[in-house]
């Protein structure tokens, strides 16, 4: 048999199959999932067959692409349907998204864009300044002194326009499921814990809480990646997903009005009518995701400077990305390819646009080719006139780990820079440049895949110090100014360069041959790292091994003292409270240990996670402030579009 991927399974199907298992079979479930993952599979139409052994087959029926009912998973063993195989198959398959995109409006993207910014909670309005004098607002629920009794996260009585009792109940289930993952860690959050999350997600979806449901599904997906040893898994992603889940669940009981609407979220991306638009192409970037999707995204600007995108992303990887760039844009009647649109223009009538700027391609959308504009001509030139610090602050609101979903905005920065050369870092070599205000900025490779031109172009540009370029990059939140470089004006001033697709040559450079050098230390470099990492690492340390890991820590007085000396007293208090909550275990009258207070620990952990992210983003914003006494650059030349 040939290997075939398992079809997605609806969350409620997986939860039901696991809940129906006997306690004895639940103990065997994780081993069964692992074993089933090694067995050969075969697809025949909408049915995937797994060879459990030489005599037994397991079938997943997904005529619509998703296993939607419990009866759609059948097993031929003697114990079926009460066997462990059906539940193991459901746990081994990816969790289905119960609210797919509207097919009509997402036509430009053959699948929902996996490269889009993930949903995450909002950064509190009271984001701390680098000096750190007050904690962020939202996590204040967990700033209880270490000596105080641990508390759960009860929700106060809702305002008249607050959440319904059913929604608060669903949010409590989400909180409990997330707190259980923190208690057990990745190592202990097996199929049973994941099924509890899936049940919570299904309940939240039924109670009109799609944001919480989506967060729970994200946690399940990341837990499975971590337990499977997926090389693309990062602990920080699971930290963010868990904080999103817990933060959203808590806020359902406290929010009202517009805030409650944001906390509830939307089941589908809305595409709102936007009338007639005049669009000017900026550049095209390849999209290649860890999930195997590939394609291209073209960025355009409206006459009033709003940024929009036209994308085509589907399963296929880097090969598809290279091919899609030269395919016709699926928007109205235009014959432009993605790369051509990046240097041309469109006149669109009946336009529809999502809050994150994606252009819809419904039947009523009409588009014809129009003249584009050079980066130095109106209206595009205005994008480079905003000071870098203001652009970075705007981009941070978009890329924040806890950004409000649907808030719009872009993570792109438009800068005039002077190349200084290459700089070696622990993760590789990047390009060092100086932008307006004398701010040194590091320009990193957007994608290291050798089939794309990013790496070769960046290393070639590094050999031409003194070259002035107009660039477009994506903000990378860091304690020092940092972007991934996406597009630039051609060094000769004759055109623009899509750095993922177009390849520069040495003949394009004015002065090749500069050596690679080391850059001066900046905040965040080795040896100058902010002591905030003392708290951040404890937050991340909890996720792999659970609460007990922090409970076994020794004396942390020295770490807390170092944080206070650095002007971070709130971080010191959060670290002390988190450690105390992890170690606290009460005993009954007979001296027996009582169950740990998982809710209280989760509340302290959530406060620490939100706080570290808020301070890190504040440090990032401060790093983009102009250097005192530095001169600004004159605008660089960029040619008209081809």
Q: Can you give the pLDDT at residue 630?
A: 60
Instruction: Give the three-class secondary structure for 130.
Output: coil
Alpha-carbon distances of 293 from 120, 220, 319, 320, 499, rounded to whole Å: 22, 20, 10, 8, 20
* Range 176-200 average pLDDT: 95
Q: What is the distance between the terminal CA atoms of the chain, rounded to a whole angstrom?
A: 51
* Range 250-254 average pLDDT: 91
Look at residue 38 and tell me whether its pLDDT is greater than 80.
Answer: yes
Weakest-pLDDT range from 238-242, 427-431, 614-618: 427-431
The greatest distance separating any two alpha carbons of the chain, rounded to the nearest whole angstrom, comes to: 83
Quote the strand ranges of 62-210, DSSP E.
73-75
User: Which helix (H) or strand (E) element contains residue 260?
Assistant: helix 257-264
Weakest-pLDDT range from 24-28, 558-562, 592-596: 592-596
Chain segment 350-389, per-residue pLDDT in tens: 988 888 888 988 788 999 999 999 999 999 999 999 999 9
> Among residues of the chain, what percentage have pLDDT more than 70?
83
Q: How far apart are CA 319 and CA 293, in angstroms?
A: 10
Q: How far apart are CA 534 and CA 209, in angstroms?
A: 35
* Mean model confidence pLDDT for the chain: 83
- From the CA atom positions of the chain, what is the Rg in Å? 26
* Range 199-220 average pLDDT: 94
Is-contact 179 601, C-beta < 8 A?
Answer: yes
Chain segment 511-562, per-residue pLDDT in tens: 544 444 444 444 434 334 678 999 999 999 999 999 988 888 878 899 999 9
Weakest-pLDDT range from 137-146, 155-164, 209-218, 547-556: 137-146
> Among residues of the chain, what percentage have pLDDT more than 90?
57
Find out whether the peptide bond into 292 is cis, omega within 30 degrees of 0.
no
Of residues 47 and 315, the one with the higher pLDDT is 47
Tell how strand 482-489 and strand 439-445 pair up: parallel
pTM above 0.85, yes or no: no
For the chain, how many residues are written? 642
Residue 405 CB partners (closer than 8 Å, separation 6+): 119, 120, 211, 262, 265, 266
Chain segment 43-99, per-residue pLDDT in tens: 988 899 999 988 899 999 998 889 999 999 999 999 899 999 999 999 999 998 764
Look at residue 638 and tell me whether its pLDDT is greater than 80.
Answer: no
Weakest-pLDDT range from 109-123, 185-199, 607-621: 109-123
Q: How far apart are CA 228 and CA 220, in angstroms?
A: 12
Q: What is the DSSP code string of 605-618?
A: HHHHHHHHHHHHHH
Q: Which of 374, 378, 411, 406 is nearest to 396 (CA)?
A: 411
**Helix, strand, coil share of the chain (percent; to 5):** 35, 20, 45
What tokens appear for 621 in the block? 């914003």
Look at residue 434 and tell me whether its pLDDT is greater than 50.
Answer: yes
* Range 311-320 average pLDDT: 88
Q: Which of 344, 336, 331 is nearest to 281 (CA)?
A: 344
Chain segment 458-485, per-residue pLDDT in tens: 999 999 999 999 999 999 988 889 999 9
Of residues 134 and 461, the one with the higher pLDDT is 461
């Amino acid at each position: 048999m040939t290997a075939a991927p398992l079809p997605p399974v609806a969350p409620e199907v997986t939860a039901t199959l696991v809940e129906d298992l006997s306690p004895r079979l639940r103990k065997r479930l994780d081993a069964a999932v692992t074993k089933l993952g090694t067995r050969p599979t075969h697809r025949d139409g909408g049915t995937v067959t797994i060879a459990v052994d030489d005599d037994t087959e397991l079938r997943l029926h997904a005529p619509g692409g998703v296993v939607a009912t419990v009866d759609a998973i059948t097993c031929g063993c003697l114990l079926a349907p009460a066997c462990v195989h059906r539940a193991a198959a459901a746990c081994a398959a990816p969790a289905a998204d119960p609210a797919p995109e509207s097919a009509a409006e997402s036509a430009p993207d053959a699948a929902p864009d996996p490269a889009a910014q993930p949903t995450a909670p909002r950064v509190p309005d009271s984001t701390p300044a680098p000096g750190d004098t007050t904690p962020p607002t939202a996590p204040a629920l967990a700033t209880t002194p270490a000596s105080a009794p641990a508390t759960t996260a009860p929700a106060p009585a809702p305002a008249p326009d607050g959440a319904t009792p059913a929604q608060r109940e669903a949010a409590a289930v989400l909180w409990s499921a997330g707190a259980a993952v923190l208690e057990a860690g990745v190592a202990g959050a097996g199929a049973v814990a994941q099924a509890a999350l899936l049940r919570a997600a299904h309940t939240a979806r039924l109670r009109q809480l799609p944001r919480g449901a989506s967060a729970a599904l994200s946690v399940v997906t990341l837990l499975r990646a971590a337990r499977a040893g997926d090389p693309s898994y990062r602990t920080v992603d699971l930290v963010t997903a868990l904080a999103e889940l817990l933060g959203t669940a808590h806020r359902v009981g406290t929010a009202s009005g517009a805030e409650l609407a944001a906390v509830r979220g939307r089941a589908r991306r809305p595409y709102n009518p936007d009338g007639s638009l005049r669009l000017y192409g900026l550049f095209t970037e390849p999209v290649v995701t860890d999930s195997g999707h590939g394609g291209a995204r073209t960025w355009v600007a409206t006459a009033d400077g709003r940024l929009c995108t036209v994308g085509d992303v589907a399963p296929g990887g880097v090969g598809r990305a290279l091919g899609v760039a030269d395919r016709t844009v699926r928007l109205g009647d235009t014959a432009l390819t993605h790369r051509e649109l990046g240097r041309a223009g469109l006149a669109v009538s009946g336009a529809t646009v999502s809050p994150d700027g994606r252009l819809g391609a419904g039947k009523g959308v009409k588009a014809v080719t129009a003249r584009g504009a050079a980066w130095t001509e109106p209206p595009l030139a205005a994008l480079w006139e905003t000071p870098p610090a203001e652009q970075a602050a705007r981009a941070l609101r978009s890329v924040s780990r806890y950004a409000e979903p649907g808030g719009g905005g872009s993570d792109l920065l438009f800068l005039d820079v002077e190349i200084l050369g290459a700089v070696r870092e622990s993760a590789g070599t990047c390009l060092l440049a100086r932008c307006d205000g004398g701010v040194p900025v590091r320009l990193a490779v957007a994608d290291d895949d050798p089939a794309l031109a990013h790496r070769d172009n960046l290393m070639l540009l590094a050999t031409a110090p003194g070259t002035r370029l107009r660039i477009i990059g994506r903000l990378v939140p860091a304690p020092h100014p940092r972007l991934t470089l996406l597009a630039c004006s051609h060094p000769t001033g004759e055109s623009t360069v899509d750095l993922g697709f177009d390849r520069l040559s040495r003949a394009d450079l004015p002065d090749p041959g500069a050596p690679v050098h080391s850059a001066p230390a900046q905040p965040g470099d080795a040896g100058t790292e902010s002591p905030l990492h003392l708290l951040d690492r404890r937050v991340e340390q909890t996720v792999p091994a659970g609460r007990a890991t922090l409970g076994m820590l020794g004396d942390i007085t020295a770490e807390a003292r170092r944080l206070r000396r650095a002007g971070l007293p709130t971080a010191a208090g959060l670290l002390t409270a988190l450690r105390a909550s992890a170690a606290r275990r009460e005993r009954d009258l007979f001296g027996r240990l009582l169950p740990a207070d998982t809710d209280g620990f989760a509340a302290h952990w959530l406060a620490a996670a939100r706080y570290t992210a808020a301070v890190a983003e504040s440090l990032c914003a401060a790093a983009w402030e102009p250097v005192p006494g530095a001169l600004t650059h004159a605008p660089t030349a960029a040619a008209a579009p081809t």
